[in-house]
A and B are shown apart, each in its own frame.
Chain A
Amino acid sequence: MTGVAVLGVGMHPWGKWGRSFAEYGAHAAREALRDAGLEWSDIGYLAAGITVRNGYPGYVAASTFAQSLGWNGANIASCYAACASGAAALDVARARILAGLCDVALVVGADTTPKGFLAPNTGERTDDPDWLRFRLLGATNPAYFGLYARRRIARYGATERDFARVKVKNSRHGLNNPNARYRKEVTEDEVVASPIVADPLHLLDICATSDGGAAIVLSSLEFARGHGAPSPVRVTAVSTVTPTYPKTVVDLPDFATDSAAAAAPPETAYRASIAAAAYEEAGLGPDDLDVAEVYDLSTALELDWYEDIGLCKEGEAERLLNDGDTTIGGRIPVNPSGGLACFGEAVPAQAIAQVCELTWQLRGTAQGRQVPGATTGLAVNQGLFGHGSAVVATT
């Protein structure tokens, strides 16, 4: 057996609760510790995803959580990698365990977010591309999602109804998830009748921003055995790869892609390379998956992910969706948690929440949304500034 053990997982439900991110993080951490059957005093290492929306305490998130739980002398690291921040923290903790520097570690991410569009930092930040894309172009995150969605329509004949059916599926998946923010069935008609934000995407095609917190207790396999968990869910791969030049898709917060004038584009485009690296490390491929959690920032993006993680060939994602393959009960259920469609995004917590869901699925305890017999799962995301992550979990 390889990898590290997931001894415990826990979350603070997603929503708009109006409390501090430290509170959500500490709550999730206590839940994960309780799930693991451990005390905070047993933890020698804490890695956390940074939030950039909560001032200095957010930049030193690991320290903030450690203080919230009560200083216990643990070593800490705070990581920022946009949407992949939680996975970056997970990877640091995993490496620490695999290096033999600690037996057990806690990984935490939590956020509070304002209503509406995510916005750049304030000030006259004329050398910051994230500030400039708003100032010069008004290019919000959904604007980029709209560009990708229309591209899908033009290339593959996707329709707004296809996109809407992603939301319908995810809304059903998340109905019984106690940590999901939106637990209401949504119809195709409701999606296409909702206001257009960045056409062809409607309001209900685009994920909201949420408060939330998620935590994982990781340990060495040896520690897990000694702790009465001889066959835990294991993390067998974590990928946090950056793009390979030239990147040919215009990603947030870019004004332009790289130029392929003097260098041929890589065989595997960036989003696909994120999962490919995790498959390679885990020694498996898309055919081995029973369940996947993908980053559905928009409904159309979920369809892109089907192809990028190898569930089908390019242009076949709509068929996969419409055949019911990615619905619970289908060949390879995607986003049984309900995905971002039911959660909304709490940036530094989201990649951790994805692994929490995989853990419940692989334990067979995802009540009301269980993928029958799941033993191997993949979680993927992509964020701005060349960040992304993929995690493989297996029993």
Chain B
Amino acid sequence: MNEFTEAARLFFLGLPTHDIMGTRWMWPICESIHFIGLTMLIGTVGMFDLRLMGVGRQIAPADLHRLIPFGVAGFIGNVLTGICFLSGAPDQYIYNWAFRWKLVFLIIAGLNILVFYSALFRRVRGLGPGASIPLGARMVGAVSLAAWLGVITAGRLLTFYRPLQISPGKWVF
């Protein structure tokens, strides 16, 4: 493969978490944290996205936004455990098309967040209960929810696009 993927492979193989990811329980422990993070993210950020799209109009967006730190905490856990997975078996990810799609959806979600906080948050924060949401913010909410569902979809497909199986014909799911 090209230089970039090879450099990424060596980088993740060299991380100190590489060895412990090979022990019996580290993988399921990290997966558990990863799924809890996913749940916190959809529960709070997804709920805020729905509010932007017009659900729960009697809630001032700024008040619902106070739940978002729980989703951010979940996401930080996901990034850290995600790095652990990559360090444990980098080949399973960097040559995996589902993983590349997952990164694409993550980038879309990230750029969407930048648009929201740089251009729209100040206006949305000032809205009271019952106020209608500007069209731009509604679209940001829809893109955010769609992007996170895309991240989950691609993430769940990782297993089926692995370049190497753990053993022939035996998937771990």
Instruction: Indicate whether A and B interact.
Output: no
> Using a CB–CB distance below 8 Å, which chain B residues touch chain A?
none
